[in-house]
Structure 1
Amino acid sequence: MNEHDILPALVELQQLSGSPTMAYIVDKIEVTDVGIVYECLRALGRVESLNLILYAGGGNVDAARHIALLLHEYCEELRILVPDHAQSAGTLLCLGAHELVLGTMARLGPIDPYITASDSHAPGGPNRISAEDVRALTEMARTWFGLDGQAAGRHALEMMSQRIFPTTLSSFFRAHRNIRNVGRELIAYHRSDLSADERGRLVDHLVDGYDSHTHVITPAEAQKLGLNVVVPSLREEQLMWRCLHSLHRWLKGDLDEDGQVMKIIANSQGFCAELTLVGVSLNSLEGRMPKRVWGIEERSAATISGAEE
């Protein structure tokens, strides 16, 4: 376990803010994370205010929603701190915070949903397609080829139906509707001061207001969009980055026989869970998947050293 990298930073962040602090640092948000998040929150107990350090490059929409609602079961005020990226499903989770603390390098992103299109008949086609890309076909037919609205819609549907099984198309429709519903549900925590219509327009912009799913929404852009954004202090940002240290080693490909960290879920009271790849070195994978193993340790906060630098 690499808890020495993260627990002292979480303890100091709690001291700075006066609120218990938790870290959810993952490559992507998955359904299997929910149980570990619950264990972390249960170890912390119900609190008035909670800080969550978030790092996530995307993931499962329904898991992000579940985690957001679970966090609110354990606190009255949720503050999410983003040192690096919290994109796609990570941005969706951010909508559930009362306040966003975005560091200099923080990146949010559009929340348009992607689904797997494994039954596509087009050889070499993408395995995952955005629902917004499907919706854009009608606009493309109208803009590029001069078809009127109804003709453009019929042409787009005929073209897609030849290449994608009809129930996959309906899955795109449901995913698109689901992301808007979840976004509206979560942003009610973030901007309760706005009307439902105003919150809906903000979510709509995050879903279909960008031409690229990888568009980077900077802190300044997020604030201009209408999100409740504050700037961390210099020390807060330093500590936020310290929490990413273990995961960054894995992202650089530093995998050895002892395993490397893929996910960290921890709190300032001494709970630390790590998901590691174990048993296979990076250079000898040979098409095999290494084992993914969760390890959980709990320590007394009084035994955590190095909180001060």
Structure 2
Amino acid sequence: MLGEILWLFLLASALQPVLRQRLLEAARQRLIARIEAERGSRVIVLVHREERMSLLGFPVYRYIDIQDSEAVIRAIHMTDPDVPLDIILHTPGGLVLAALQIARAIRKHRARVTAFVPHHAMSGGTLIALAADEIVMDEHAVLGPVDPQLGEYPAASLVRVVETKPPAELDDRTLILADVAQKAIAQVRRHVEELLQGRYEPEAAREIARILSEGTWTHDHPITFEEAQALGLHVRSGVPQEIYQLMALYPQPVRQTVSVEYLPVPRRGQRTR
């Protein structure tokens, strides 16, 4: 009897994560369907969270990859050209190729495209957002520069090295990297201009593309809502509450040690007599 209870306990423990994941997926699907019904749109969610392997406990960081671009493009192919697209972005970025494929696909969609950024859409996430007709950001959300990175080095920094030192003082590897860096910056700048074409004045599109692609800031610089407005991007505030509810259904894996803790009740100022 005790052995049967033990086996049932082990079975329930093994199934619990699977059942919890299935319930989360079902809740997300219901909420996505509700948002689509309310907005009359196709909702596509691109969320990347840090994942933790259940057995060994080490973190796995997720980024925009080719599987993501294939999935987004499939969703767009399944959407009538006259149906608006709402893409919800929460990502640190990823492969330029994959992000650019997604950006071009939503740019070519005939109906209106809105990119929602409730928290952050950096690097490749920003590239995708730039392809939308409008970016809706939380007042505390951030975008990021799209300047290319070559391994551990920013492309813009490699270019500046060869501009400030005589070629005789540089090794072949640095010169080769700088050549590739120049090409990468020119390519990304041209891609951004293409994505902005038709919705921004040509001069404004060129300036935005230059600022975002040529290493104006470090690659992880957070471009705030106010900075995005100052750049001339088509951004506004007012992320629907349902999108925050949807984000809560993509929980970050629980850490072994809690890093932020508080009593989850409102605190009011005490009146003094």
TM over 0.5: yes
- In 1, the alpha carbon distance for the partners of 2:170 and 2:148 equals 18
Q: 1:218-242 CA distances to partner (integer Å, 9 max, x unpaired)?
A: 1111011100111125xx1x32223
Q: Secondary structure at the match of 2:44?
A: strand
Task: Decide whether the 8 Å contact of 1:31 with 1:63 is kept in 2.
Answer: yes
Could you say which residue in structure 1 is the equivalent of 2:10?
none
- In 1, the alpha carbon distance for the partners of 2:93 and 2:168 equals 31
Task: Decide whether the 8 Å contact of 1:5 with 1:245 is kept in 2.
Answer: no
Pick closer, same or farther for the CA change 1:241–1:184 going to 2, 3 Å.
same
Could you say which residue in structure 2 is the equivalent of 1:249?
252
- TM-score, reference length from structure 2: 0.72
Match of 1:199 among 198, 202, 205: 205
Match of 2:47 among 7, 16, 25: 25
State the number of aligned residues: 221
- More strand by proportion, 1 or 2? 1
Could you say which residue in structure 2 is the equivalent of 1:68?
103
Match of 1:182 among 188, 191, 211: 191
Q: Secondary structure at the match of 1:76?
A: coil
1:86 correspondence with 2:86: no
- TM-score, reference length from structure 1: 0.64
Could you say which residue in structure 2 is the equivalent of 1:135?
159
1:50 correspondence with 2:74: no
Q: Secondary structure at the match of 2:66?
A: coil
State the 1:73 CA deviation: 4.2
Task: Decide whether the 8 Å contact of 1:65 with 1:186 is kept in 2.
Answer: no
Task: Decide whether the 8 Å contact of 2:106 with 2:132 is kept in 1.
Answer: no
Q: Which residues of structure 2 form unaligned runs of 5+? A: 1-21, 49-61, 257-273
Q: 1:51-70 CA distances to partner (integer Å, 9 max, x unpaired)?
A: 11111101111211111222
Match of 1:96 among 115, 121, 131: 131
Task: Decide whether the 8 Å contact of 1:88 with 1:111 is kept in 2.
Answer: yes
Q: Secondary structure at the match of 1:48?
A: coil
Pick closer, same or farther for the CA change 1:170–1:209 going to 2, 3 Å.
closer
- In 2, the alpha carbon distance for the partners of 1:23 and 1:208 equals 29
Counterpart code for 2:41: S
Could you say which residue in structure 2 is the equivalent of 1:7?
29
Could you say which residue in structure 2 is the equivalent of 1:212?
218
Pick closer, same or farther for the CA change 1:159–1:17 going to 2, 3 Å.
farther
Could you say which residue in structure 2 is the equivalent of 1:161?
171
Task: Decide whether the 8 Å contact of 1:5 with 1:242 is kept in 2.
Answer: no
Could you say which residue in structure 2 is the equivalent of 1:107?
142
Q: Secondary structure at the match of 1:249?
A: coil
Pick closer, same or farther for the CA change 1:158–1:85 going to 2, 3 Å.
farther
- In 2, the alpha carbon distance for the partners of 1:224 and 1:207 equals 17
Pick closer, same or farther for the CA change 1:83–1:167 going to 2, 3 Å.
same
Q: How does 1:276-295 map to 2 (within 5 A)?
A: none
- In 2, the alpha carbon distance for the partners of 1:75 and 1:25 equals 24
State the 1:75 CA deviation: 3.9
State the 1:160 CA deviation: 4.2
Higher RCO structure, 1 or 2 (CA under 8 Å, sep 6+): 1
Q: 1:155-209 CA distances to partner (integer Å, 9 max, x unpaired)?
A: 3x444426x35433322122111111111111125xx241x23211111111236
Pick closer, same or farther for the CA change 1:112–1:160 going to 2, 3 Å.
farther
Task: Decide whether the 8 Å contact of 1:101 with 1:229 is kept in 2.
Answer: yes
Pick closer, same or farther for the CA change 1:73–1:206 going to 2, 3 Å.
closer
- In 2, the alpha carbon distance for the partners of 1:86 and 1:160 equals 36
Could you say which residue in structure 2 is the equivalent of 1:270?
none
Counterpart code for 1:14: E
- In 2, the alpha carbon distance for the partners of 1:65 and 1:49 equals 20
Aligned CA RMSD, in angstroms, stands at 2.4
Q: 1:106-149 CA distances to partner (integer Å, 9 max, x unpaired)?
A: 11011111022xxxxxxxxxxx11111213336xxxxxxxxxxx
Q: Which residues of structure 1 form unaligned runs of 5+? A: 117-127, 139-151, 255-309
Match of 1:40 among 62, 67, 75: 75
Counterpart code for 1:213: H
- In 2, the alpha carbon distance for the partners of 1:165 and 1:132 equals 13
Task: Decide whether the 8 Å contact of 2:145 with 2:217 is kept in 1.
Answer: no
Counterpart code for 2:177: T
